[in-house]
């Protein structure tokens, strides 16, 4: 199954992506993780992406599309994938359609986690404080300024994707404000699957 997980930063996409990949036996393809790995490795892509990421702005389509194209072609993604954090703009969605079309593939569904954007800053601040209290490392973009920029970027550039995929009959919306387990059940049932 080829899925996209759509939702703002802090909506719980990563948590649900892990559950989906376990249930479906397909990999999670997170552009955020790919970019953070590139930054950690100080690769040319990482060096270009780092400043944008730290500010909470989008990295260029050129960089993100080349990472996704290379990843989708790997053998573990042949049976399907859960895309997390991509596409983030209508331009990226169009490019993905073209890319998959050229490979003779198509998307099965786009799962949207619906959350109250105003509740997310509090959620994120709480999460970061808890992680720090446990002595865990936090992300360079997990500070209130970058987080607000991430939310604003989402509002402006990613929200239009819901209607893009609704028009194509692919959108399934799930209430992301419920418990992790409840959201997981709703995600599965929106795909016609049991947990």
Active-site position among 79, 127, 132, 155: 127
SS3 of residue 4 by DSSP: strand
Residue 136: Cβ within 10 Å count: 9
Q: Taking the complex as a whole, how short is the minimal distance between the CB of residue 190 and ligand ADP, in angstroms?
A: 20
Of residues 27 and 56, the one with the C-beta less far from ligand ADP? 56
Beta-bridge mates of residue 82:
3, 28
Of residues 58 and 109, the one with the C-beta less far from ligand ADP? 58
Q: Taking the complex as a whole, how short is the minimal distance between the CB of residue 192 and ligand ADP, in angstroms?
A: 27
Interacting residues with ligand ADP (CB under 6 A): 9, 31-32, 35, 52-53, 56-59, 64, 85-86, 88, 92, 141, 150
Distance in angstroms (rounded) separating the CA atoms of residues 99 and 9: 25
127 is catalytic: yes
Of residues 48 and 173, the one with the C-beta less far from ligand ADP? 48
Active-site position among 13, 36, 71, 172: 13
Residue 62: Cβ within 10 Å count: 11
Of residues 19 and 150, the one with the C-beta less far from ligand ADP? 150
36 is catalytic: no
Q: Taking the complex as a whole, how short is the minimal distance between the CB of residue 169 and ligand ADP, in angstroms?
A: 23
Helices (H) and strands (E) in the chain — how many of each? Answer: 9, 5
Residue 59 tokens read as 């990295």
Asked if residues 170 and 161 have their Cβ atoms less than 8 Å apart, the reply is no
Output the residue with the shortest Cβ distance to ligand ADP. 32
Residues 6+ apart with CB under 8 A from 138: 128, 131, 132
Nearest Cα to Cα of residue 125 among 7, 13, 32, 10: 10
Q: Taking the complex as a whole, how short is the minimal distance between the CB of residue 64 and ligand ADP, in angstroms?
A: 4
Q: Taking the complex as a whole, how short is the minimal distance between the CB of residue 194 and ligand ADP, in angstroms?
A: 28
150 is catalytic: yes
Residue 60: Cβ within 10 Å count: 12
Residue 137: Cβ within 10 Å count: 8
Of residues 26 and 38, the one with the C-beta less far from ligand ADP? 38
**Could you give the residue numbers annotated as active site?**
13, 88, 127, 139, 150
């Amino acid at each position: 199954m080829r899925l996209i997980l759509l939702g703002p930063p802090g909506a719980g996409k990563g948590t649900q992506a892990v559950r989906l990949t376990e249930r479906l036996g397909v990999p999670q393809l997170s552009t955020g993780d790919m970019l953070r790995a590139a930054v950690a490795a100080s690769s040319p892509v990482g060096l270009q992406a780092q400043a944008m990421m730290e500010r909470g702005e989008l990295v260029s389509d050129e960089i993100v599309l080349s990472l996704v194209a290379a990843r989708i072609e790997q053998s573990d993604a042949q049976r399907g994938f859960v895309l997390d954090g991509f596409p983030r703009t209508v331009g990226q969605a169009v490019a993905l359609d073209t890319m998959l079309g050229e490979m003779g593939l198509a998307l099965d569904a786009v799962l949207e986690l619906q959350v109250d954007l105003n509740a997310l800053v509090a959620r994120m601040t709480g999460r970061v404080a808890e992680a720090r209290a446990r002595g865990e490392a936090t992300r360079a973009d997990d500070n209130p300024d970058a987080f607000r920029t991430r939310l604003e970027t989402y509002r402006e550039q990613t929200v239009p994707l819901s209607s893009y995929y609704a028009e194509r009959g692919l959108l399934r919306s799930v209430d992301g404000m419920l418990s992790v387990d409840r959201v997981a059940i709703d995600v599965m049932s929106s795909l016609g699957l049991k947990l």
